[in-house]
A and B are shown apart, each in its own frame.
Chain A
């Protein structure tokens, strides 16, 4: 693990595992979709629309895990000043925002037949929308500050402040109004979901996680290369000035 903290070693490692990651995510997502769309039975109340859940829930989990990853990387940036920590956070932000968007969009499509409306100002939806805004704020902060090391530390501070605020936001909107069902997969007294639905859901969750990791490693690789190009261009320009 410590060896991987070196950007060059990380690049070599990323290049080596990339094909495996792609193959594994395609295979697991394909198998998960097969289970979700053909094998699992329709819900006795919701009918076929319950299948939206197999995309909705894993992506929502991924969106929250993505923000946690950013907050942990922010700690790495501020405490150890590690350059890869910022690369990891920066690469995770757009992916996390996309996962949040997919969770919101599939939820909205699911909400239309079930609740009769595309959007309700319910606790879970509102806090997820705010998570989406936090992601957008982080991305725009990274894009606006030109100097990389300053951008890294500023974004890290914002990510940590946002991370402290997420429980507050969640609590406040929960308290405010609710329609979304409470947590039912992991809870005291065992899962409330039958195995026929739980197994495809967990396979899809594994698939979504793999998709996240694959995209994240690829984005980190691109970010490292982008910084190298930047350094190369800069050294060329500075060399030109000296001559």
Chain B
């Protein structure tokens, strides 16, 4: 547990001090929203209707950009070798890394979303459901995204491959997240059921992500 805490602290510190991580992701988030809006045109009622889906999709893309930071730097400077060879349980170590990734990208992106929502005429009633679904959904994004990062860590041009591998797995998160927000805005279904399913996916990814990523990293050392 000490090792878990140490790794968590180290990864958070690295993410905060190294820079270029979450500020870049939020900048990208802003750009994607702007590009979407340029493409669709300044039709305010239309923007209000598609705002939750647009924000969710743009947040997903921004989070995707940060996935390579999960493993790449540790692979390049050899920390990953040390982790794989240490007495620390690799699954637990990766859980710490994914948790740090969620705290330093998932949470800031979720909190930035309602601010960007002002640009696309987001209904004020959607702010709380949007942030709630994003906070839960980004857990699944960090933990399953780590599988993609672990599979492609030693490869050249791994970043693009990570996106191809991981995006199909993100679709359920996106669907349940957006439908929960739509439901909160007065859709035909209730907010609770898609939200609970989203929580279920995130909980499952808490287990699946570290186990599968550790297995993927071990294949490189055998």
Which residues of A are interface residues toward B (Cβ below 8 A)?
A: 78, 126, 130, 133-134, 136-137, 140-141, 144-145, 149-150, 153-154, 157-158, 160-162, 164-165, 168-169, 171-173, 175-176
Contacts and interface: CB of A to CB of B under 8 A. Distances in A.
B175 A154 contact: no
B161 A141 contact: yes
Q: Closest 7 interchain pairs by CB?
A: A172-B172, A153-B219, A133-B168, A137-B165, A130-B168, A172-B175, A168-B172
Contacts of A130: 168, 171
B168 A169 contact: yes
Given A150-B220, A157-B216, A172-B172, A141 B208 contact: no
Contacts of A150: 219-220
Interface string B206-222: 00100010011001101
Nearest to A172: B172
Contacts of B212: 157, 160-161
Contacts, number: 74
Among B158, B161, B165, B167, chain A packs the most CB atoms within 10 A around the CB of B165
Contacts of A136: 164
A120 B169 CA distance: 21
6 contacts: A78-B215, A141-B161, A150-B220, A157-B151, A164-B208, A173-B175
Contacts of A173: 171, 175
Contact of B164 (A78, A140, A145, A169): A140
B35 interface: no
Contact of B175 (A157, A160, A176): A176
A172 B200 CA distance: 12
B201 interface: yes
Nearest to B144: A161
B151 A176 contact: no
Interface string B179-222: 10000000000000010010001000000100010011001101
Given A157-B147, A168-B201, A141 B165 contact: yes
A169 B219 contact: no
B178 to A, nearest CB: 9
Interface in B120-136: none
B40 interface: no
Contacts of A164: 208
A161 B213 CA distance: 10
B169 A161 contact: yes
A145 B161 CA distance: 11
A168 B215 CA distance: 22
A158 B219 CA distance: 12
A133 B147 CA distance: 16
Given A153-B219, A176-B179, A158 B165 contact: yes
Nearest to B147: A161
B49 to A, nearest CB: 16
B219 A133 contact: no
Contacts of B208: 161, 164
Contacts of B179: 175-176
Contacts of B147: 157-158, 161
